[in-house]
A and B are shown apart, each in its own frame.
Chain A
């Protein structure tokens, strides 16, 4: 797990005057699942696009599996698989034809193509759908087929951009299981997600990017430890908190999940008093008060100042 398979140095991207990615540097170790977290518009997708050759960096570079993204991008493309945010296989082709086409484009030896596609379709539980046109698949199956297509040339590194966004719980769970299996097979997984819990469950290490800058790179456990000193107050109301009020509350860093509010606060006593006042003002009943060990979500909130719930809502709206 020591060797760095991705080494990013001073990678920067300007779109005109807009600085989308600001001189970021980090490394990814071979065989790990590396999470790239950040609020919407933080620069996650732009970073992936630079690493896989869809966008040229304005400054800086990255070495992937020994090749420089500025000079040897075709060599890099042979070695990496990419699952974009949108499942973009060919609607007019069947699942089998799509994977076979990818195998041909990536120059998988002719004798191995059929067997490899069959193996992947069985692994991804798509064998029975092999003759179905891609456009007729459900969202979850499309996602699975897109991941399978990205693996047909047996890449050593797999980039996944928001792989579980918009998927139902079962499909998302299945996809997470697949990512773990890939890690067991020695594939390095580079994953962007706005689901903090997903990153917590899956990733060996995570990087947090905010406004184009990396603010932390560490294991989820170390990130949680970093905010250990800050108590988290969890309050459950009998009905959802009016969203505008939560924004106006001057209680500290807040995460709202329906009826549940989590507050990172240095002063739980005063915060609790303020919450009780707020509940009275809105005729809400407090059903539960609890103090929690900080989660990765809490660490993320502390680092970015952005509510993951708000991020999820924005992401879903944007789709």
Chain B
């Protein structure tokens, strides 16, 4: 655990807490919230859960995939693998580092949305749990993408293959229920759908305990699959 803690601290200091990232982390949600305020001043509160989910998605996947791929390129990840840490510790350190940055971005988006869009949070604890699960799942997805490719640009490209469809299919702007059946089925194969739904239920309501539990279980399932696949890829790199 100690090694993981220092790994996270180093990543935050060396990569995440750099002025460009912090300013991007604050500016991105702010600009998104402002854009929607100007475009359609009525019914903005409806967008709140989707925007928080999107901020968490971009906050986790964008930097983390770059960090891991960059460290692979320059040999720094190998330096880490020389230390007396298990592969699992290294992977979780990277995922949690990305998650902390994701929580910051989702938190910033939440505060901005509450102030500008007139959103509200009915179940703060469950809303926080939903944010935490969302950042963990998408941070694990970022790690999986990063360990599957060689170059930084490949990580970015592959991330976008997942991110942009998710923005349009997962209920961020358009309710999943309003989409044609094939798209609805596709949406349910993507983790952000469950994030948006969990965040919506715990913020704007109404909260349906059964459906919320289903969202939580689906997110835990995605998290397990992404982590197991990333571990498999990391293990394969030793072969």
Contacts and interface: CB of A to CB of B under 8 A. Distances in A.
B75 A92 contact: no
Contact of B2 (A54, A82, A88, A104): A104
A52 B82 CA distance: 7
B7 interface: yes
A167 interface: no
Nearest to B86: A74
B79 A84 contact: yes
A101 B83 CA distance: 11
Q: Is the interface of A mostly helix, strand, loop or mixed?
A: loop
Interface residues of B, number: 22
Nearest to A135: B74
Contact of A107 (B13, B84, B239): B84
B10 interface: yes
A53 B10 CA distance: 23
A56 B238 CA distance: 6
A106 B83 contact: yes
Nearest to B4: A105
A82 B82 contact: yes
B85 interface: yes
A88 B79 contact: yes
A78 interface: yes
A159 to B, nearest CB: 9
A90 B83 contact: no
B1 to A, nearest CB: 11
B83 A88 contact: no
B84 A90 contact: no
Interface in A162-181: none
B81 interface: yes
A184 to B, nearest CB: 25
A65 B209 CA distance: 56
Nearest to B10: A101
Contact of B10 (A55, A56, A86, A93): A93
Given A54-B238, A56-B238, A56-B239, A90 B14 contact: yes
B85 A105 contact: yes
A54 B82 contact: yes
Contacts of B74: 86, 88, 91
A54 B238 CA distance: 6
Interface string B80-98: 1111111000000000000
Contacts of A55: 238-239
Contacts of B84: 74-75, 77-78, 105-107
A102 B15 contact: no
A30 B82 CA distance: 21
A134 B7 CA distance: 18
A54 B239 contact: no
Contacts of A104: 2-3, 6
Contact of A54 (B10, B14, B81, B85): B81
A105 B3 contact: yes
Interface in A33-66: 52-56
A279 interface: no
B15 A107 contact: no
A192 to B, nearest CB: 16
B76 interface: yes
A106 B79 CA distance: 12
A53 B85 contact: no
Given A74-B84, A77-B85, 11 more contacts: A53-B238, A54-B81, A54-B238, A84-B78, A88-B74, A92-B15, A93-B14, A105-B7, A105-B85, A106-B84, A107-B3
Interface of B: 2-3, 6-7, 10, 13-15, 74-76, 78-86, 238-239
CB-based closest 10 A-B pairs:
A88-B75, A92-B14, A77-B84, A104-B6, A105-B83, A78-B84, A88-B79, A82-B82, A86-B75, A74-B84
15 contacts: A52-B82, A53-B81, A54-B82, A54-B238, A55-B238, A74-B85, A77-B82, A86-B75, A88-B78, A89-B79, A90-B76, A104-B6, A105-B84, A107-B3, A107-B84
